A and B are shown apart, each in its own frame.
Chain A
């Protein structure tokens, strides 16, 4: 999952980036509202974490601007002000949830995951597509109730597929999703991971959950 993190405090930003990366997210960071707005327009993120008190353009203004441009991805606001005025204004401006500083990192992860699964149309933390089940919190995957062991990349990919069912994802989008900006991408790697995932999720070739669309990418769908 790829997140955009806009926070003006350098130390907190670095700490959150490192913790979120450790938790398996791909994180893009910036320190002011204007850059944050630019990045959300240019790149696709599954979720944005925005601090309200930002220099140049306030978090609320960034959210309002994005929502007026029909930006549909979930937004979580971080705020130092715990007054309901700020919470209500933030949420009514278009944010989906808020978190008051200071917060437990586990709480941030829980909120982010809940928002991601809601965006994917799931009501509980266990995502289900046919016989395939994925628990966002525990990161466990089952096929026909049998646990399946996945690598970090494979897990990221299956979570992406589960949260974006029926949608076509190009190799570029997937590579962008799996790697940080700085890493050089190799589209062959995506093919390799997809192939391994197909084998692990569908060893006897009955289910065919990942469809290859020539020249366009992949589509995850359970018939």
Chain B
């Protein structure tokens, strides 16, 4: 499976982290708010108890409390706030007007001067209760009372609901704003990487031959090394080419002398055969050696330009044959490969076609999509010459084997073509042309498609 892009991974990870952090924050804030709310509610209940305490007075063992209290909620029915006073046996002595009947069960404080909080149920309403145990001394007798105040839970919980609504709404908005910011920040931060990706593609495409210098510090190490590597590879290839050319020169000039001297020994067939074999093997190895195939970075080959160069050269060589060449190539077709390889490919195949053609050669080069959705560069070269049989087409790519003695080439051109196509992971097929002669079909993997799709993205 192809790994996701860096930006996607980065974004996905930070999204998860943001969500988790936000969720924990919501929980913590919610819990502390509830806690705070309950504490406030208890404080209020405590104050209510004290306010009732302040208006109650004991006279001759009798507790007196006004019917109407200062806080109007105690005097209004169903206000949700009520107070009551119980005696030591927990029998009701007094209740506020806001309640008809006390709850069945109220937890009372066991110790004098201590507040005890709990919940109590009246019908289906739940109340937070505060109970306070107090002992008053009246003329030597100690009287114990339970002061109770309670508030409807619903009122407290209503506050929590409202708070939660704003809390969650606020956090969701903040999360989305954060993610959007992250998205844009990542886009901005990753720009050099996209630029690098684009530059590498244009290197492959042949629009550039080095990466630009202004990359951030983290990337400049990589880009500088890559540039150095490209440069080194290019130089090495050139050096290799030059030394191969020197080797060719130093081997072939003496071979030419030997061959010239052989005129005087024309009857010695063994010697002549040996010389031909040496020559063929030098020729084949030297030509094969300079094939580069796929390079790290290759200057793109402008197919039409290279084809026209080869055709112009061949028209010169075969001027006596006056051959009509009909070529169909897209104007802007660029292949990421080595120009010399394509000169070699077209040179050998077209030289062959010119050699055997009567008067017509048809060249067709186009990009084709295969059944498994891959792009291939298809090169078809056909002529109206003698063509060849099936057994000949098998033999044709074997080094040094020529189908007939026509022409003056060394018969290794096609073997070089075969090696070349193999180096590019391509396929070569031979067939009979409708024109009557031979047909060569070459298919090379074409990756320019990638460039187009990334440019769109």
**CB under 8 Å from chain B, chain A span 90-108:** 91-92, 95-98, 100-105, 107
Q: Which one of A7-15, A31-39, A40-48 is at the B interface?
A: A7-15
Chain B residue with the shortest CB-CB distance to A115: B319
B249 touches A81 (CB 8 A): yes
Smallest Cβ distance from B386 to chain A, in angstroms? 22
A91 touches B316 (CB 8 A): yes
- Which of A9, A96, A102 makes the CB contact (< 8 A) with B279? A102
B260 interfacial contact with A, CB 8 Å: yes
Chain A residue with the shortest CB-CB distance to B311: A88
CA distance A85 to B290 in the complex (A): 11
A126 interfacial contact with B, CB 8 Å: no
A80 interfacial contact with B, CB 8 Å: yes
Chain A residue with the shortest CB-CB distance to B250: A80
Q: Which one of B117-125, B141-149, B158-166, B343-351 is at the A interface?
A: B343-351
A107 touches B408 (CB 8 A): yes
A167 interfacial contact with B, CB 8 Å: no
Smallest Cβ distance from B374 to chain A, in angstroms? 28
**Contact (A88, B313) CB under 8 Å given A80-B249, A80-B252, A102-B258:** yes
CA distance A28 to B77 in the complex (A): 134
**Contact (A81, B313) CB under 8 Å given A101-B253, A102-B279:** no
**B309 contact set on A, CB distance < 8 A:** 88, 92
**Contact (A97, B316) CB under 8 Å given A15-B257, A92-B309:** yes
CA distance A124 to B343 in the complex (A): 30
**A146 contact set on B, CB distance < 8 A:** none
B340 touches A85 (CB 8 A): yes
A83 touches B260 (CB 8 A): no
A216 interfacial contact with B, CB 8 Å: no
CA distance A86 to B286 in the complex (A): 13
Chain B residue with the shortest CB-CB distance to A8: B253
**A83 contact set on B, CB distance < 8 A:** 287, 290, 340, 343-344
B320 interfacial contact with A, CB 8 Å: yes
A12 touches B260 (CB 8 A): yes
CA distance A101 to B248 in the complex (A): 9
B255 interfacial contact with A, CB 8 Å: yes
Binary interface profile of B, 382-412, with partner A (CB < 8 Å = 1, else 0)? Answer: 0000000000000000000000000010100
Smallest Cβ distance from A53 to chain B, in angstroms? 5
Smallest Cβ distance from B168 to chain A, in angstroms? 72
CA distance A165 to B262 in the complex (A): 37
Number of interface residues of B (CB under 8 A): 38
**B275 contact set on A, CB distance < 8 A:** 102
B347 touches A87 (CB 8 A): yes
Smallest Cβ distance from A23 to chain B, in angstroms? 11
Among A82, A91, A103, residue most surrounded by chain B Cβ atoms (within 10 Å): A82
Interface of B, helix, strand, loop or mixed by DSSP: helix
B283 interfacial contact with A, CB 8 Å: yes
CA distance A91 to B347 in the complex (A): 12
**B287 contact set on A, CB distance < 8 A:** 82-83
**A102 contact set on B, CB distance < 8 A:** 252, 255-260, 275, 279
B457 interfacial contact with A, CB 8 Å: no
B20 interfacial contact with A, CB 8 Å: no
B16 interfacial contact with A, CB 8 Å: no
CA distance A188 to B348 in the complex (A): 53
Smallest Cβ distance from B407 to chain A, in angstroms? 11
Smallest Cβ distance from A103 to chain B, in angstroms? 6
- Which of A9, A85, A86, A98 makes the CB contact (< 8 A) with B253? A9
A16 interfacial contact with B, CB 8 Å: yes
**Contact (A12, B253) CB under 8 Å given A81-B245, A91-B316, A103-B259:** yes
- Which of A11, A101, A104, A118 makes the CB contact (< 8 A) with B252? A101
**A114 contact set on B, CB distance < 8 A:** 320
A15 touches B317 (CB 8 A): no
Binary interface profile of A, 56-96, with partner B (CB < 8 Å = 1, else 0)? Answer: 00000000000000000000001011111111100110011
CA distance A86 to B275 in the complex (A): 24
**A88 contact set on B, CB distance < 8 A:** 309-310, 313, 343, 347
Chain A residue with the shortest CB-CB distance to B344: A84
CA distance A102 to B346 in the complex (A): 23
CA distance A82 to B313 in the complex (A): 14
A91 touches B245 (CB 8 A): no
A81 touches B248 (CB 8 A): yes
B283 touches A82 (CB 8 A): yes
> Can you list 8 A-B contacts with CB-CB less than 8 angstroms, sorted by A residue number?
A80-B245, A80-B248, A83-B340, A84-B344, A84-B348, A85-B340, A85-B344, A101-B255
A81-B249, A84-B310, A86-B245 known, 5 other contacts, Cβ within 8 Å:
A11-B257, A15-B261, A96-B316, A102-B257, A107-B408
Leading 9 A-B pairs by shortest Cβ distance: A84-B347, A91-B313, A102-B255, A102-B259, A80-B252, A102-B256, A101-B252, A80-B249, A101-B256
B→A interface (CB under 8 Å) = 245, 248-253, 255-261, 263, 275, 279, 283, 286-287, 290, 309-310, 312-313, 316-317, 319-320, 339-340, 343-344, 346-348, 408, 410
